[in-house]
Amino acid sequence: MKKSTILFSTICIVLISFGCGKLVYEVNSTFQVRLANGGEIVQQVNIDIEEVRIKTSKDTSWKVLPTKKALYNLANYGHGVDTAVASGPVAATSIVSEVRFVLGNRSTITIGEITYPLSLVANYEKNMTIKVGRKLNLSEEKVVISFDPRVSSSSDKNAGFVLNPVLKLQ
């Protein structure tokens, strides 16, 4: 009897010791970034998106979302049509403060019958960033970011065509 009481007491002490640790269950929301055309396109503007990153109130650094790496022709995403670019789990109840698109070097613009390389202006370093300020809930949260190609691209005699991104939340 004494042995079973000691064994029972030992088990209780072990369980209580481990049970007193703070249990934290992080609930995730799915955050989806979508891209749309926010203006008119004469021909074609292809944006090479390699990665989508977000900054949240719960993270001190950029978090990479699973991204559909592709060359996105903005002419395909006008008049209410958009496309999913990235989607992934983010801690629910956090606030997504910024979304950053990391671009590759295959972006182009087509004018008439000629396709030209499209490079970012020097101060962007292959990134397009927009402030979001979206509080997440316990389900899926989508943000649609429109890109205005007419205002965002311009011709420069020395650099060819340059991209100075104009992004807006829809």
Give the span between the Cα atoms of 18 and 132, in whole angstroms.
41
Average pLDDT over residues 15-25: 51
| Gyration radius from the chain CA atoms | 24
Q: Given pLDDT bands bounded at 50, 70 and 90, which one contains residue 4?
A: low
pTM given for the model: 0.77
pLDDT on residue 40: 65
pLDDT on residue 70: 96
Topology annotation, domain 27-169: Immunoglobulin-like (2.60.40)
pLDDT on residue 168: 84
Query: Which residues on neighbouring strands pair with residue 146, listed in sequence order?
Result: 36, 168
**Domain ranges (residues) in the chain:** 27-169
- Identify which of 126, 116, 118 has the alpha carbon closest to the alpha carbon of residue 50: 126
Average pLDDT over residues 55-75: 91
* Cβ-contact 120, 163 below 8 angstroms: yes
Q: Given pLDDT bands bounded at 50, 70 and 90, which one contains residue 84?
A: very high
Q: Is 56 or 127 the better-scoring residue by pLDDT?
A: 56
Question: 99-125: per-residue pLDDT in tens?
Answer: 999 999 898 888 788 888 888 766 556
